[in-house]
Structure 1
Amino acid sequence: MNYTTQMDAAKKGIATKEIQTVAKKEKMDVSDLMYRMSRGRVVIPANKNHKKLSAEGVGKGLKTKINVNLGISKDCSNVNLELDKVKKAIDMKAEAIMDLSCFGKTREFRSKLIAMSPAMIGTVPIYDAVGFYDKELKDITAEELLNVIETHAKDGVDFMTIHAGINRETAQVFKRNPRLMNFVSRGGSLLYAWMNLNNRENPFYEYFDRVLDICEKYDVTISLGDACRSGCIKDSTDPSQVKELMTLSELAKRAWKRNVQVMIEGPGHMALNEIEANMELEKKLCHDAPFYVLGPIVTDIAPGYDHITSAIGGAIAAAHGADFLCYVTPAEHLRLPDLQDMKDGIIAAKIAAHAADIANGIKGARDWDNEMAQARRKLDWDKIFAVSIDPEKAKKYRESSMPEDKKTCTMCGKMCAVRNMNKVMEGKNINILRDDD
């Protein structure tokens, strides 16, 4: 039996190679997975031309996934450095990598990335348009913008952020409801500018059926972009954000009729007390479609530490319905992240995702923690390092300050509660001041 996309296969009861891979990874029954996919609650981004892919699922009842952003810019165009980041992200088992390149030989870098990556690959085609055509934004035609999408699809991109929700109607809502930070979405701001400069409708909205033609042909998952996401906590959950979400709701239904898989993006910077309601709002308005969030960043005062502000928001968001976390690095708002920034961002996002999986009762999520607790009870340092989320850092800290009693650490020494409880439970003397017998 033939199928066009993973969603189409799920509706027809065809267990594709990708569906079987995800079911095994998630310890989920294949028929249950296909049911969720057929309803749009789970996506498996898997472009037909991405041959290296090890498929991952995103959505309801699955482990929370994380995405790593990288790519070249005009100010930082070192392709080899970005490829080093790719290798590190793959080594650290990030489930997705988004190439946000916006300058120079973007296709050359994208092709290398897709050829080497088992992680799913995402892009934002509007970022590439100016460099792709070597034209100023105003002079790029609607047809040319659509052609960039097709080029990325041909190259093997698994999911694309398409800012189709910032149409003329949404733009009017924005104009009537001024914001402190206006738009901070790069893609959203570019399309808003294009619309104003050309006095035209957003081509991704106007020609959304053309976008669907491309995505259906190559099985590209659409990540409906959050052009109106808030760039500071003052702008969160405002009319512009909610209006765009309503538009994305309608576009998701149109995509599903064509068997095109959909994720919804949001919501940016947001105070802690608004996160749960925002997750519920998205799930309600967008028919339980997978939710892909940046952050939410829960305070605006921490440049250099936004991997932490984001992880706090991400854990809460994922515990209340978000399915996919876009990592944030310490360099957010300051510069292009370097290799260490990227590593710190991945670790922070993975901690947030795992904490949410525990809260959500995801099958097997607690096994990792139980393994760590077992190693700690035994004071088995090699095992502790082995099961750490960052073994290298854990071992480095340990070795930088060694205790007299090698079983303990320099925080407590022989007063270590674990050491002493083990001895007491075994009927042994504790011997804090003297050597053991």
Structure 2
Amino acid sequence: METQLELARQNRVTPLMQRVAEDENMAVEQIVRQVAAGRIVIPNNPGRSGQKVVGIGTGLRTKVNASIGTSSDICDIALEVEKTRVAEAEGADTLMELSAAGDLDAVRRAVIHSTSLPVGNVPLYQAFHDTIRKTGDPTRMDPEYLFDLIEKQLADGLSFMAIHCGVNRYTIERLRRQKFRYGGLASKGGTFMVAWMEKTGRENPLYEQFDRVCGIMKKYDAVLSLGNGIRAGAIHDSHDRAQVAEMVINCELAEIGRDAGCQMMVEGPGHVPMDEIQGNIMLEKRMSGNAPYYVLGPIPADTGAGLDHITAAVGAASSARYGADLICYITPAEHLALPNAEDVRQGVRATRLAARIGDISKYPERRETEKMAALARRDMQWQDLESLLMFPEEARRIRDSRAPEKAETCTMCGDFCAMKKGMALFAQDIGGDKQAPGRSTAAQGGGA
């Protein structure tokens, strides 16, 4: 089977490319060129029917990923299915199933069957989980079992995988020479792989046999997302030598994988101060040949726990603005607890809004909906405004809970409504595109 990347290089338009073009309102020829160049990926395992088609990459709307999964403290398949459904209902574009406890095969299959979103995972989680259950010692993991597991999980219908290929002995040495870190290691998969290499004295098999990883991924036309196992867990560790070493390696691997015909993404940092976000994205794009960039947050402060969906949304808006292509949400529970369904809801909403803010800065030509919303708000056309909002049900709930005495206003200002007074003063001066379509000047000034 040929991958979307290989087909695009033959200038062949596939149904997936056509659908991405339609969804993004772009010429299909442009999508084909960008897929062929490795600047757009389409995670869509052909072995799983009924998936949502999602394009990720240059020129496209910034996408949002939601992550769910069990832990050793909370392991409930029904809860994970509920979180999956909430994530899809709230508008997530992709889903990562990151369970680390329980019957991982059963959890993964239940999640895949409960959503139409492209689903990804981190295969190292199950590799180490199963090794611990079998031997009691994660450092006894058999690399052959890891490769077999990657294929087994892909056969279940996964469309992308975060695989920690860039964690190697060179990156570990950088951690030692810089006297470790303020925030320690933040990646579960990355940390367990470091422990395995330290105990065995061997190189990371995912790095050492990278061509084998790509070969398995190609069989399922799955996107290989190069995991960020040495990402910073504190802003004071951002862009330290260990993180940058892994980033350089991952960008090289993205080029190697792309040359082999495998769809590739690079994963980005966790905690990054605001002033470094633009530079981080510039480095990834330049070093990887503009491979799609999948970022976690980023989180630009270390003191927002409890509201880190907001902390991360601030970083995500800037990240989207400067070229990130897929953003993994952060929930209010980040750093504190396993997310519940409401945490998932709030995380997806905050990240979608952040991506929208970044996109309308990155793509000024896509601001028409913002203009129409402003006109509807100005003219106090509440139903029109609601239809244009990202979260109409939430807006309606708030307005209905504090209904105004006069229906055309809201209880923020009441009789002192600035919009109403402004229309009374300037209704006869409105013209051109400042007159909302379908509403006359007289109607706009009505009731004033």
TM above 0.5, one fold?
Answer: yes
Listed one character per residue, the Cα deviations across residues 80-100 of structure 1 (whole Å, up to 9, x for unaligned) are 111111111111221100000
Q: CA separation in 1, counterparts of 2:91 and 2:311?
A: 22
The answer to whether 1:74 aligns with 2:72 is yes
Deviation at 1:154, TM superposition (A): 0.8
Q: How much does 1:381 deviate?
A: 2.1
CA-CA distance at 1:270 after TM superposition: 1.1
Letter in 2 for 1:147: D
Contact in 2 for aligned 1:230/1:268 (Cα 8 Å): yes
Q: Partner of 2:64: helix, strand, or coil?
A: strand
Correspondence for 2:243 among 241, 251, 264: 241
Q: What is the alpha-carbon distance in structure 1 between the residues aligned to residue 393 and residue 251 of structure 2?
A: 44
Give distance in 2, aligned partners of 1:202 and 1:211: 12
Query: Does the 8 Å CA contact 1:403/1:409 hold for their aligned counterparts?
Result: yes
User: 2:438 matched to which residue of 1?
Assistant: none
Q: Find the residue that maps to 2:376 and give its secondary structure.
A: helix
Q: Give 1:47-58 correspondences, 5 Å limit.
A: 47-58=45-56
Task: Output the CA distance in 2 between the equivalents of 1:211 and 1:79.
Answer: 29
Aligned residues: 426
Moved over 4 A (4+): none
CA displacement at 1:301 relative to structure 2: 0.6
CA deviations on 1:176-233 (whole Å, 9 max, x unpaired) are: 1121122111111011011112111111111111111110111111110111111001
For structure 1, the residue ranges without an aligned partner over 5 or more in a row are: 428-435
3-state secondary structure, aligned to 2:50: coil
1:415 corresponds in structure 2 to 416
- Partner Cα separation in structure 1 for residue 156 and residue 86 of structure 2: 22
SS at match of 1:223: strand
Q: String of CA shifts for 1:384-427, please: whole Å, max 9, x gaps.
A: 33332222321222122222222111111121111122233447
- After TM superposition, the structure 1 = structure 2 runs for residues 317-332 of structure 1, keeping only pairs within 5 Å, are 317-332=319-334
Name 2:164's counterpart in structure 1.
Answer: 163
Q: Distance in 1 between matches of 2:3 and 2:217?
A: 9
TM-score normalized by the length of structure 1: 0.94
2:63 corresponds to which residue?
65
SS state at 2:281 partner: helix
2:240 aligned partner, one-letter code: D
Is 379-388 or 243-252 further displaced after alignment? 379-388
SS in 2 for 1:297: coil
State the partner residue of 2:16: 18
Q: C-alpha distance in 1, partners of 2:30/2:385?
A: 35
Match of 2:349? 347
Contact 2:77 2:110 in 1 (8 A): no
Q: Which stretch shows the higher mean deviation, 93-102 or 173-182?
A: 173-182
| 1:137-286 mapped onto 2 (5 Å cutoff) | 137-177=138-178, 178-286=180-288
Aligned: 1:289 with 2:300: no
* Secondary structure, aligned partner of 2:119: strand
Cα distance between partner residues in 2 of 1:165 and 1:390: 39
Partner of 1:308: 310
AA at the equivalent of 1:320: Y
1:107 lines up with 2:105 in the alignment: yes
Q: Does the 8 A contact of 1:142 with 1:203 survive in 2? A: yes
Contact in 2 for aligned 1:50/1:115 (Cα 8 Å): no
Q: Any conservation in 1 of the 2:125–2:189 contact (CA below 8 Å)? A: yes
Residues 95-117 of structure 1, C-alpha deviation per residue, up to 9 Å, x if partnerless? 10000011112222222322332
- Matched with 1:378 is 379
CA deviation after TM superposition for structure 1 residue 362, in Å: 6.4
Q: Pairwise CA RMSD of aligned residues?
A: 1.6
Q: Work out whether residues 128 and 192 of structure 2, in 8 Å CA contact, stay in contact via their aligned partners in 1.
A: no
SS in 1 for 2:78: helix
State the match for 1:404 in structure 2: 405
* 2:298 alignment partner, SS class: strand
The DSSP-based 3-state class of the residue aligned with 2:54 is: coil
2:434 matched residue in structure 1: none
8 A Cα contact 1:52 1:114, kept in partner: no
Q: Decide whether the 8 Å contact of 2:84 with 2:111 is kept in 1.
A: yes
Provide the rounded CA distance (Å) in 2 between the counterparts of 1:418 and 1:4.
58
The aligned amino acid for 1:163 is H
Normalised TM-score (structure 2): 0.92
Matched-pair contact (CA < 8 Å) for 1:159–1:220: yes
Tell me the CA shift for residue 348 of structure 1: 0.8
Report the 3-state secondary structure (helix = DSSP H, G, I; strand = E; otherwise coil) of the residue aligned with 1:69.
strand
Q: Distance in 1 between matches of 2:427 and 2:170?
A: 72
* Aligned residues of 2:167 and 2:230 also touching (Cα < 8 A): yes
Mapped contact 2:129–2:138 kept (Cα < 8 A): no
Q: Tell me: CA distance 1:49–1:201, structure 2 relative to 1, closer, same or farther (3 Å).
A: same
Provide closer, same or farther for how the CA distance between residues 31 and 179 of structure 1 changes in structure 2, counting only shifts above 3 A.
same
User: Which shows bigger deviation, 239-248 or 382-391?
Assistant: 382-391
Shift of 1:124: 0.4
Distance 2:379 2:187 in 1: 49
Bigger shift: residues 23-32 or 395-404: 395-404
- Residue number in structure 2 paired with 1:430: none
Distance change >3 Å, CA 85–CA 383, structure 1 → 2:
farther
Q: CA deviation at 1:258?
A: 1.6
1:22-45 per-position Cα deviation (integer Å, ceiling 9, x unaligned): 011011111111111111111111
